[in-house]
Chains A and B, each alone.
Chain A
Amino acid sequence: MLRFAVRRLLLLVPILIGLSLLVFVWIRALPGSPAQALLGERATDESIAHVRSQYGLDEPLYEQYWRYLQTVGSGDLGTSIRSRRPITEEIRERFPATVELSISAMLFATLIGIPLGFVAAKRHGGLTDNASLFLSLIGVSIPIFFLALILKWIFAVELGWLPSVGRQDVLIDADHPTNFYVLDGIITRNWTAAWDAVKHLILPAIALGSIPLAIIARITRASVLDVQNEDYVRTARAKGISTGAVDRRHVLRNAMLPISTIVGLQVGLLLSGAILTETVFAFPGIGTWLKEAIDNRDYPVIQGACSSSRSSSCS
């Protein structure tokens, strides 16, 4: 088992190097340069040359790549060309935002999806079953940004129940030791801040969680249906164990295996959806940051954001 794990981890090394090379070459193949994006259309040749030498963009590519590997290895990811802030600092602010959003989305998806799939399987062929199948069909068919817009329109604009943009109300005075805003509120015992952060998370989490919710509900349903007909379930029933205990101890526990696999797989897929969700709700996470960095040709930011999200998508 240990040998297998070590082998898999070693196999990751060439993938990581290949990925860093791919990202490096790809962003330098993008048309337009960071100097141009920073200085605008009326930049003179001298000012562009100055910015290029300032960020080492005039060196040969292999030297730039070597320098990039060195900085990554030392844990320093350089400075953003656009905002001139250290990348590690921005990641410290933005990565928790996306993680917080992803955790909330997965919580929503599993807490609703597993019971929904379970009930559907229990009432196989009935109204609940068909309703849950239809709901999960809608879930995988509705584009995230459309659902996000509709939610924002109904609950934030029309009804005004929930905030529509950002992570926290600007008027709230709160400390952020960890940058996980909900956690920060709890640690500093600032309950208004914590509750406000939760309210800001609800709509984006529902939007981002819609696809995982649909898939989890479907897998749960299929897996419970499978397990229900196993011999050991019949034996347990024959022994006279109550239905609730059979469901809890025999059906659900065995059905959890494929469910947990699918939950794990969905986590890796969240970042794609996070880009769109964060855009709709102006949520300052990795997704919007990366999109802006691509627009501005902010090489160090793209490299930094890719390497910080790589750890999650590789595993």
Chain B
Amino acid sequence: MSVAEVEASELELEPASGGLWRDALQRLRRSPAAIVGLVMIATLVVVALFAPWIAPYSPTEQNLEAIAGGCCPGPSREHLLGLDDLGRDELSRLIYGARYSLLIGVVAVAIGLTMGLLLGAMAGYFRRADSPIMRLMDIMLAIPGFLMAIGIVALFGEGGLLQVMIAIGVVNIPIFTRLMRGSIIAQRDNDYVLAARSVGVPSRKILGSHIVPNAISPVIVAATLALATAIIDAAGLGFLGLGPQDPATPEWGTMLTNTVRYLQTAPFLAIFPGIAIVIAVMGFNLIGDALREALDPKLRGRT
């Protein structure tokens, strides 16, 4: 930075709108962790979107001749990651599985985020709603999250894609509610809110177009990290046998649990889905951490 630039930046007391985000984007581009994470997630998204074209076989197609000699032939040229216990191509199932794991993660976080933002904004802005909403969240937080997810899936009677999404989504609600409320309370008594109120802006509009945009950045970081947790939890539910049971929807956690029996003879059947989960989770964790650093106002200007 030249002297002139330093002076210019000192002169600019109020940064232009979008400044935080432009700053953050710049810092993200220079963070190797963010780039690695983005590449991992982008690859998974592409694989998930184009699964029918990328996958060498259909996820339900069985090659019964290949497993006639016992379970389970390991990686070969025809089947790069081998075959599972029912003679299905492991690689193809992993590729299709990317769809379900990402979908579960995104939908679950979307459920938690929407409900959490709504409740958190109400609790933070309307003082009368604060206590009842937050006590309800305290009750939800008192139940261990994964246990609550198991309980919600049990409530539906059987495991499935939608059930797992809803269960993990509900578990996420109190997290986002608390975060949003905290953020809003920090903004609520700011001068610009007072100014908006004094010129007669209705409170719904103050909340929606003034406070929420200013309070949202910690929520975005939390949402990215929640995606990672949601994928782990979904795999955990699948591992306990509560995931989608349809053989045409190869969810990674369910794939892992179905092949645990062959751990001694064919460990790769459990290891490959496990690695797939680790890659997805790590990608979101890397992006989330990098975002947190990029959006931290304390680090602003230190590009």
Contact = CB atoms under 8 A, between A and B. Distances in A.
Nearest to B37: A137
Given A31-B157, A275-B150, A150 B236 contact: no
A30 B263 contact: no
Contacts of A31: 155-157
Interface stretch (A15-23, A167-175, A235-243): A15-23
B172 to A, nearest CB: 14
B285 A140 contact: yes
A29 B271 CA distance: 38
Interface residues on B, range: 35 or more
A224 B206 CA distance: 41
Interface in A141-194: 141-146, 149-150, 152-153, 157
Interface stretch (A76-84, A85-93, A247-255, A265-273): A265-273
B73 interface: no
B144 interface: yes
Given A30-B155, A146-B256, A313 B144 contact: yes
A291 interface: yes
A26 B274 contact: no
Given A26-B155, A32-B157, A149-B270, A272 B147 contact: yes
Chain B interface main SS type:
helix
Contact of B240 (A29, A271, A276): A276
Interface stretch (B1-9, B82-90, B135-143): B135-143
Contacts of A142: 274, 278, 281
Interface string A4-32: 00000000001100110011001001111
B143 A313 contact: yes
Interface in B250-303: 253, 256, 260, 263-264, 267, 270-271, 274, 277-278, 281-282, 285-286
A125 to B, nearest CB: 14
Contacts of A137: 282, 285-286
B146 A314 contact: no
A86 to B, nearest CB: 23
A128 interface: no
A47 interface: no
Contacts of B151: 26, 294
Interface in A101-153: 137-138, 140-146, 149-150, 152-153
A310 B147 CA distance: 12
Given A29-B155, A294-B150, A150 B271 contact: yes
B152 to A, nearest CB: 9
Given A26-B155, A146-B278, A149-B270, A272 B260 contact: no
Interface in B107-146: 135-136, 138-139, 142-146
8 contacts: A29-B155, A141-B278, A141-B282, A143-B278, A146-B278, A149-B256, A153-B263, A275-B240
Given A26-B151, A142-B278, A275-B146, 18 more contacts: A30-B154, A30-B157, A31-B155, A137-B282, A140-B281, A140-B285, A143-B277, A146-B256, A149-B260, A150-B274, A152-B263, A153-B264, A153-B267, A272-B146, A276-B240, A294-B150, A306-B143, A313-B143
Interface of A: 14-15, 18-19, 22-23, 26, 29-32, 137-138, 140-146, 149-150, 152-153, 157, 268-269, 271-273, 275-276, 279, 290-291, 294-295, 306, 309-310, 313-314
